[in-house]
Structure 1
Amino acid sequence: MSEPNGDEKLPVTGNGNRRLFPEEAATAEDHKHDFEVDDPEEDVSIDPKEETKLLAKLDLFFVPIIMLVYLSCFLDRSNIGNVKVAGMPEDIHATADQFSTAVSIFYATYVAFETPWAVLLKKLTPRILLSTLAVIWSLTTIFSGFIQNIGGLYATRLILGACEGGLFPGLNLYLTMVYRREEQAKRVSYLFVCTAISGAFGGLLAYAILHMDGVDGEAGWKWVYIIEGLFSIVVAAAVWFGLPNDPSNAYFLKPEEKELMRRRAVQRAHYMGSEDFSWIEVRIALKDPKVYLSGLIQFCQDILLYGFSTFLPSIIKGMGYDTYQTQYLTIPVYAVGGLAFVTFAWFSDKLRLRAPLVLLANVFGIIGYILLLCNVPVGVKYFGTFLCAIAVYTGPGINLTWLNVNSAPHYRRATAIGMQQTIGNTAGIVAGQIYRKSPYTLGNAFSLGAICVSQFIIVGKMMYIRSCTKKKEAIAAGKRNDDRKVKTGDWTLDFEYHL
Structure 2
Amino acid sequence: MGSDGEKPASPTLSDTGNHVSEAIPTLDRQEEKRLLLKLDAVFVPIIMLVYLSCFLDRTNIGNVKVAGMPEDIGASDVEFSTAVSIFYATYVAFESPWAILLKKLTPRVVLTGLCVVWSLTTIFSGFITDIGGLYAARLILGACEGGLFPGLNLYLTMVYKREEQARRVSYLFVCAALSGAFGGLLAYVLLKMDGIGGYAGWRWVYIIEGIFSILIGLLIWFGLPNDPTNAYFLNEREREMMQIRAKQRAQYMGSEEFSWEEIRIALKDFKLWISGAIQFCQDILLYGFSTFLPSIITSMGHSSIEAQYLTIPVYILGGACFLTLAFVSDHLCIRGPFIAFANVFGIIGYILIICPTSNAVKFFGTFLCAIAVYSGPGLNLTWLNVNVAPHYRRAASIGFQQTIGNTAGIVAGQIYRTSPYLLGNIFSVSALGLAQLLILIHWLYLRRCNLLKKQIASGKVQDKRRVKTGDWELDFKYHL
User: Which residue of 373, 381, 399 maps to 1:400?
Assistant: 381
Distance 1:255 1:455 in 2: 47
- Secondary structure at the residue paired with 1:244? coil
Distance across 1 between alignment mates of 2:252 and 2:187: 43
Q: Is the 8 A contact 2:3 2:333 kept in 1?
A: no
Q: Give the residue type in structure 1 aligned to 2:199.
A: E
Question: Do residues 253 (structure 1) and 234 (structure 2) align?
Answer: yes
Match of 2:14 in 1: 30
- Give the counterpart of 1:57 among 28, 38, 46: 38
Match of 2:260 in 1: 279
CA distance in 2, matches of 1:328, 1:359: 30
The correspondence of residues 92-111 of structure 1 with structure 2, limited to 5 A, is 92-111=73-92
Q: Which runs of 4+ in 1 moved over 3 A?
A: 18-21, 23-29
Q: Quick check: 1:187 aligned with 2:168?
A: yes
1:116-139 Cα distance to aligned partner (Å, 9 max, x none): 000000000000000000000000
* 2:347 match: 366
Instruction: Report the 3-state secondary structure (helix = DSSP H, G, I; strand = E; otherwise coil) of the residue aligned with 1:147.
Output: coil
Query: Aligned in 2, Cα 1:23/1:168: closer, same or farther, shift over 3 Å?
Result: farther
Whole-angstrom distance in 2 between the partners of 1:233 and 1:273 = 35
- Return the letter of the residue paired with 2:103: K
Higher relative contact order (CA 8 A, sep 6+): 1
Q: 2:476 matched to which residue of 1?
A: 495
How far does residue 477 in structure 1 lie from its aligned partner after superposition? 1.1
Could you say if the C-alpha distance between residues 31 and 54 of structure 1 is closer, same or farther in structure 2, counting changes exceeding 3 Å?
farther
**Residues 282-336 of structure 1 deviation map (CA, whole Å, 9 limit, x = unaligned):** 1100000000000000000000000000000000000000111110000000000
Alignment correspondent of 1:434: 415
Cα-to-partner distance string for 1:52-85 (whole Å, 9 max, x where unaligned) = 0000000000000000000000000000000000
TM-score, normalised via structure 2 length: 0.98
Alignment check: 8 A CA contact 2:85 2:413 kept = yes
The alpha carbon displacement at 1:469 in A equals 1.2
Residues 325 and 24 of structure 1, relative CA distance in 2, 3 Å threshold: farther
CA contact (8 A) 1:368 1:387 kept: yes
Among 351, 374, 380, the residue aligned to 2:332: 351
C-alpha distance in 2 between matches for 1:239 and 1:153: 27
Q: How does 1:76-225 map to 2 (within 5 A)?
A: 76-225=57-206
Corresponding residue of 2:210: 229
- In structure 1, C-alpha distance between the alignment counterparts of 2:258 and 2:24, rounded to whole Å: 29
Q: Hey, what's the Cα distance between the residues in 2 that align with 1:274 and 1:368?
A: 45
Structure 2: 5+ residue stretches without partners: none
1:5: which partner in 2? none
Match of 1:304 in 2: 285
Offset of residue 406 of structure 1: 0.3
Shift of 1:23: 5.0
Residue 30 of structure 1, CA deviation: 1.6
Does 2:397 align with 1:413?
no
- Which structure 1 residue ranges, 5 or more long, are not aligned? 1-17
Instruction: State the distance in 2 between where 1:305 and 1:431 align.
Output: 9
What is the one-letter code of the residue matched to 1:62?
Answer: F
Asked if 1 retains the 8 angstrom alpha-carbon contact of 2:4 and 2:163, the reply is no
One-letter code aligned to 2:397: A
Q: Which amino acid aligns with 1:449?
A: S
User: What corresponds to 2:465 in structure 1?
Assistant: 484
2:371 maps to 1:390: yes
- Do the aligned partners of residues 375 and 43 (structure 1) sit closer, same or farther apart at CA in structure 2, a change above 3 Å counting? closer
Q: What CA distance in whole angstroms lies between the structure 1 residues aligned with 2:180 and 2:76?
A: 25
Give the one of 244, 248, 252 matched to 1:267. Answer: 248
Does the residue aligned with 1:178 lie in a helix, a strand or coil? Answer: coil
8 Å contact 1:24–1:269 — kept in the other structure? no
CA positional deviation for 1:24: 7.4
Inter-CA distance 88–23: structure 2 relative to 1 (3 Å threshold): farther
User: 2:279–2:377: 8 Å Cα contact kept in structure 1?
Assistant: yes
Which amino acid in structure 1 is aligned with residue 5 of structure 2? P
Letter in 1 for 2:312: I
Q: Shift of the alpha carbon at 1:471?
A: 1.2
Q: 1:289 aligns with which of 270, 275, 280?
A: 270
CA deviations on 1:20-77 (whole Å, 9 max, x unpaired) are 8425778667259xxxx9x842441100000000000000000000000000000000
Partners of 2:12 and 2:425 in 1: CA distance: 53
> How far apart, in 1, do the equivalents of 2:446 and 2:86 lie?
35
CA distance in 2, matches of 1:439, 1:425: 24
Q: 1:325 aligns with which of 294, 302, 306?
A: 306
CA distance in 2, matches of 1:389, 1:206: 20
Work out the percentage of aligned pairs sharing the same amino acid: 69
- d(CA) in 2 for partners of 1:31 and 1:304? 39
Amino acid at match of 1:435: Y
Counterparts of 1:10-21 in structure 2 under 5 Å?
21=4
How far is the alpha carbon of 1:405 from its aligned partner?
A: 0.4
The AA in structure 2 aligned to 1:313 is: P
Q: Could you tell me the TM-score, scaled by structure 1's length?
A: 0.94
Matched residues in 2 for 1:404 and 1:19: separation? 16
User: Partners of 2:6 and 2:264 in 1: how far apart?
Assistant: 21
Partner secondary structure for residue 41 of structure 1: strand
- Find the counterpart in structure 1 of residue 362 from structure 2: 381
How many pairs were matched up? 477
Match of 1:6 in 2: none
Alpha-carbon RMSD across the aligned residues, in angstroms, is 1.4
Q: Note the alpha carbon deviations across 1:259-296, whole angstroms, 9 max, x for none.
A: 00000001111100111001111110000000000000
Counterpart of 2:305, as a letter, is: Y
Which amino acid in 2 is paired with 1:30?
S
Partner SS for 2:418? coil
1:339 aligns with 2:323: no
CA distance in structure 1 between the aligned counterparts of 2:273 and 2:174, rounded to whole angstroms: 25
